Amino acid sequence: MSAIQIQGLRPLKGTVGIQGSKNAVLPMMAASLLADGVTVIRHVPEIEDVFSMMGILESLGCKCSLEKGVLTVDTKAASGHRIPEEYVGKMRSSCLLLGPLLAGRGEAVTYYPGGCVIGKRPIDLHLYALKRLGASFFEAGGMILARADRLRGARIRFSYPSVGATENAILAAVTAEGETEIENCAREPEIVWLCRYLRSMGAEIQGEGTHCIRITGVKELKAGNMQIPPDRIVVGTYLCAAAATRGKITISNPPEGELDAFLEVYGKMGGQYNRRSGKLIADGSGTAFPVPFLETDTYPGFPTDLQSPLMAVLTTIPGKSRIRENIFENRFRIVEELNKMGASVAVSGREASIQGGTCLRGCTVRARELRGGAALLVAALAAQGETVIEGCSFIYRGYEHICEDLASLGAQIEEDTGTAFL
């Protein structure tokens, strides 16, 4: 059983570099199926979700290698169209392969995706977009069977700006016949990076970062070559850790302009930050002010992936804070574990009320999903005594070397391997 042990109440200080973005690399890996050749992606994090996507690609006939952050995907012998159920159950992003498989093979077989307990996260919008482009779907024995003789450009208007559905629509449309217009699409930075990547492969795309993306299909794409940007959610997590411990840290390679909503809240809590020589210097020593009301939203709003780590910080600040979760209905599962540590958090529907300033105390808690697990790390760093976090495989889905990184900033932390990082 994976576990992490933390001795709290040690302010973080120092400089840390940030891994490549999980949410950017996964759709790029899926895009490798759109070209015949060897794709090279650099600054790739060695995390469980990346290894799972590699496993899927290899099951389809690709040859994959990840060494020192450089991922190569050779698709020359790839001919499969069935996504193994074992991977679908682990990782929701497996559904991003539907678009490329339909575009390149004309068929795909998969299952309803898993890998998450924070909400229902239906794939209806994915299927809607692909149907608009000419795909047909059937269900048999728990499987989803997809077919498309030829994808053709269409007008797609989403009822909700889903990131994954937007990515799937883009991946399917870049080689579809004719023009595609995607309206009310997601605007997240990962969408922008995917479009840049596809454009480097020869795709014709306009409008990324807005609510309307226009694509003119091309007959073929060349293999891609791209460096992954730093992970904005990891940056936010580390800033939360510094704020919870009233520490001061420097991010050596922060993303540009992708964390404005988070940094605005960070400032309201009393945190200070500035950019100097390409670095983000953050001082959380003055973190002392509750947040009367905050709600998560699609980009450029406050990211749902940082809601749980922020909640952990707010438990350490005297006064009442309130959070409304608008994206995933089960994101508050972390509350039970925080309250075990002495926090005072009450949930009513989609809102959580945090009465901060109570003393957090170390105990044994369990991570049940990725960002909630990261939030427990943040709380443990600010707690008296020792905290043991079980279920850490969830954390490793998205954080490459989080224990080593926190240790380099002064945390007293030990993984279940018996290796201490002091």
Active site residues: 116
Residues of the chain by 3-state class (helix, strand, coil), percent to 5? 35, 25, 40
Nearest to 74 by CA among 30, 46, 36: 36
Helices (H), 139-296: 163-173, 189-200, 232-244, 260-268
Question: CA-to-CA distance for 107 and 301, rounded, in angstroms?
Answer: 36
First vs last C-alpha separation in the chain: 22
Distance of CA 104 to the CA centre of its chain: 26
**Helix (H) and strand (E) counts in the chain:** 14, 24
The answer to whether 98 touches 126, Cβ cutoff 8 Å, is: yes
Instruction: Give the containing element (helix H, strand E) for 312.
Output: helix 307-314
DSSP state letters, 193-218: HHHHHHHHTT-EEE-TTSSEEEEE--
Question: Burial code of 202-218, b = ≥16 C-beta within 10 A, e = fewer?
Answer: bbebeebeeeebbbebe
Please report, as a single letter, which amino acid is at residue 417. Answer: T
Residue appearing with tokens 């269900």 = 139
Distance of CA 74 to the CA centre of its chain: 25
Q: Which residues pair with 147 in a beta bridge?
A: 107, 136
Nearest to 8 by CA among 304, 413, 416: 413
Token digits of residue 6: 């933390």
**Edge-to-edge, what's the strand order for the sheet holding 420-421?**
364-366, 386-390, 3-7, 412-415, 420-421
The answer to whether 296 touches 302, Cβ cutoff 8 Å, is: yes
